[in-house]
Amino acid sequence: MSDSENFDPLTPKSRKNYDAQERKFPRGVVIRLFAYLIAGHIFAAFLYLLFAVAGKG
């Protein structure tokens, strides 16, 4: 009987490794999230400024 017949991908091999992966986001996801938040706020500020200037004229 081979090990592949008893392999369960949902069962972690060690609890320590599993906990470390649970708590940490991949670095690329964190950078992308930060960039989207910054870009979203800059776009919202641009729209606010656009409407504020157009409302005065």
As averages over each run of 10 residues, the pLDDT of the chain (57 residues) reads 71 63 84 96 98 91
Inter-CA distances, 37 with 12, 26, 46, Å: 33, 17, 14
**18, two tokens:** 């599993």
Q: What is the pLDDT of residue 14?
A: 64
Q: What is the pLDDT of residue 57?
A: 73
Alpha-carbon torsion angle 12, 18, 19, 24, nearest 10: -150
Q: What is the pLDDT of residue 24?
A: 83
**49, two tokens:** 């400024």
Whether residue 18 contacts residue 12, with contact meaning beta carbons closer than 8 Å, is answered with yes
Q: How many residues does the chain have?
A: 57
Q: Distance between CA 38 and CA 34 in Å, rounded?
A: 6
